Amino acid sequence: MQVVKVLDCKGKCCPEPILDIKNALKELNSGDIVELLATDKGSVNDMASWAKRTGNTIVEQKEDGGVFTFYVKKK
Amino acid sequence: MSEEKPRRIAIIALNGSLDQAYPPLILASTAVAMDMEAAIFFSFYGLDIIKKNACLKVSPIGNAAAPPPFPSIPIGVPNIMGMLPGMTSVATMMMKSWMNKAGVASYEKLLEACMKSGVRMIGYQMTMDVMSVKKEDLIDGIEIGGASTFLDYACDADITLAF
């Protein structure tokens, strides 16, 4: 998996990770993958809802020591 | 979902205290990030949110759910103390420091996110007249409209909320 951009949203709260990922995708091409790091526990549900609504895909996600990592593929 | 007509949210912001400025700004900016259309209709005290050099505050009076100022002492500020001069500023400072500690974006930042992302920001003309607020008192990029402006937008909205 080739990540074209890493978005560090650690320490940020709702709704900033969602606003940030939206802005980040604007500059990218369809199929590009962004790695988003977040510590907001709500981001797990929020990212899923956001992906469902926008049609972008979370291809993989993991949690390590309170840091959630999402790999988002632009539609 | 891009082929379909975008979903739409229409919001009325009636209040201008610091805590109550957040829900409309959060939901509108997030809606646009979710490929929805969003508009906020600012009415009465809600106009304070979009004033130039706005300095929103939170009142320590009459809020039974206000958390105690010192977590180790589980006593809220009695209303009679909240009435003392300067207490609104103290409560505002505390609220801002709690939010900052939790990593919550400032309302100014969320307001900017709304403006930049294309949320329609509408000041309600009638309440501007009542509250003596002129268009030039508001930040740049605010539309001015009336009840039918909002209703025209809200008629095609999937979600309508008032705060």
Query: Could you tell me the residue range of the domain that residue A31 belongs to?
Result: 3-73
The pLDDT value recorded for residue B83 is: 87
To which H or E segment does residue B13 belong?
strand B8-13
Q: Which domains does chain B have, with CATH numbers?
A: 8-162 (3.40.1260.10)
Other Cβ atoms within 10 Å of B84 Cβ, number: 11
**Tell me: the pLDDT tens digits for B88-123?**
999 999 999 999 999 999 999 999 999 999 999 999
d(CA B145, CA B135) in angstroms, rounded, equals 11
Chain A positions touching B102 (Cβ under 8 A) are 13
ipTM > 0.85, yes or no: yes
Please give the mean pLDDT across all residues of chain B.
Answer: 93
CATH at A13: 3.30.110.40
Using CB atoms, which residue from B1, B7, B33 is nearest to A22?
B33
Contacts of B1 in chain A (CB under 8 A): 53-55
Residues from A contacting B (CB-CB < 8 Å) are 11-16, 18-19, 21-22, 40, 49-50, 53-55, 75
CA distance B106 to B114: 13
Residue B3: its pLDDT value, please?
A: 63
pLDDT tens sequence for chain A (75 residues): 899 999 999 999 999 999 999 999 999 999 999 999 999 999 999 999 999 999 999 999 999 999 999 999 999
The pLDDT score that the predictor gives to residue B60 is: 85
* B146: nearest Cα among B12, B7, B30: B12
Chain B residues at the A interface, defined by Cβ less than 8 Å, are 1-2, 7, 26, 29-30, 32-36, 102-105, 110, 113, 117
